[in-house]
Amino acid sequence: MQRFKKILIANRGEIALRVIRAARELGLRTVAVHSTADESALHVKFADESVCIGPPAAKQSYLHIPAIISAAEITGADAIHPGYGLLSENAGFAEVCERAGLVFIGPRPEHMRLMGDKVEARTTMAAYGLPVLPGTGILRSDEEALAAVEQIGLPVIIKATAGGGGRGMKIVHDRDRLLTQLHTARAEALAGFGNDGVFIERYVDAPRHIEVQVIGDGQGTVIALGERECSIQRRHQKLVEEAPSPALSPAERAALLDMVAKAISSVSYRSVGTCEFLFERQADGTPRFYFMEMNPRIQVEHTVTEMVSGVDLVRQQILLAQGEPLPVEYLRQRMNPQGHAIEVRINAEDPVTFAPSPGRITALHLPGGLGVRLDTHIYQGYVVPPNYDSLLAKLIVYGEDRATAVARLRRALGECVVEGIKTNVDFHRRLVDHEDFLRARLDTRFVERILH
């Protein structure tokens, strides 16, 4: 077992602070890397050491692998935590870390490659018992796409095999538009991920989006810690998440977690990860889950699982990377959710158009009180740069039940003041008063209903 002394965080913003906090509680020193745009960021201020790795553009700093490895070597770091986004799912980066004598705090490169290819992941998980929607492999020609639609039927969805965030994703209702949408999807995928591979699967209109948190030791033991409801999205980007899902009964939850744990243990997965599903309930009440993908990293919304389970997921990541055994009994005791947690993502964007809104924060008051957690990197006077993701903060509330959590969320949003830039706080205030939200009538078309 290799005990770390110092961890470099190859990320920025709130997730960099989140890792710093977990490391500090474990008695580890931390190294922050930053671009010139982030020299006054909180993760730089709170880390034990910091290294500037380049100019504002992410490709020249946070995605520049040689600069990150050099920063780790000159500071004497033992390991690198990638956070989420950026290099967190880059198998090549994980391999470079290993060759440099650094531990990559995350899954093995082969698992990252497997899960990074949605077609291969679908095929593998289906072989291990997870249900998937009717679909294709990577499409090699227009003729293959046309034939697939004839077999699957409309509507269908075109998806990029790599990446995420809605890029390279097109819904097709009209056969005459199939090839136009296919070519657009390929172009978006190539521009976004350097890979123009796409595939087709049957489109489910207005499903729920439910994901399962897993933790594995790399030797075949996997715990499915719980599920999260992530149905409230805009353009395939999550805005609100909660745990547990209000759609599932205890028996349905147990069956889902058991199914996922068995499938993921079959590939001897190590570290934390998330399996994402579309969910619909048939007319006779039968639940139907369809595996979409697995994210081999910590998720933005890991916080709600932490709140209802009491498990520090980032701490578990670090301990597993050190080679410590998976605390199986401890985790099993926390599989049944206690209470209810909801997270809303507060972004620097116009609440109506959702256009980015960088700039200086001139006044700031963040909510607090019983059952309120704020994961954020902003402060009064902070300049939100235009170069990165618009996430400013994650507001997480906890209550003994969903109604209490919703009331606490409404109160916390009322206390939230961010001036100098636009944010989506007003959008969340409207959302939390919507009858469908209050009744937990959620699906991936929820935001469309609110905006119209």
Report how far Cα 180 is from the mean position of its chain's Cα atoms. Answer: 30
Q: How far apart are CA 310 and CA 254, in angstroms?
A: 18
Residues pairing with 287 in the sheet:
281
What is the C-alpha separation between 299 and 279, in angstroms, rounded? 19
Q: Point out which residues pair with 356 in neighbouring strands.
A: 349
DSSP for 340-374, written as a single string? EEEEEEEESB-TTT--B--EE--EEE---STTEEE
Kindly list the distances between the CA atom of residue 195 and the CA atoms of 156, 160, 166, 361, in Å, as whole numbers in the listed order.
21, 8, 15, 38
Q: Which of 240, 219, 442, 186 is nearest to 323 (CA)?
A: 219
Question: What CA–CA distance (Å, rounded) separates 169 from 96?
Answer: 31
Q: Do residues 61 and 12 touch, judged by C-beta distance below 8 A? A: no
CA distance 172 to 177: 7
Q: Which of 253, 270, 297, 334 is catalytic?
A: 297
Q: What are phi and psi of 87, to 5 degrees?
A: -95, 10
Q: How far apart are CA 381 and CA 401, in angstroms?
A: 37
CB of 167 closer than 8 Å to CB of 160: yes
Looking at the DSSP assignment, which residues form a beta bridge with residue 290? 278
Residue 377 has φ and ψ, to the nearest 5°, of -120, 10
Amino acid at 185: A
Length of the chain, please? 452
Count other C-beta atoms under 10 Å from residue 12's C-beta: 29
**Any catalytic annotation for residue 297?**
yes
Half-sphere exposure of 215 (CA within 13 A, CB side): 27
DSSP letters, 327-339, are -HHHHHTT-S--S
Q: Which residues are catalytic?
A: 297
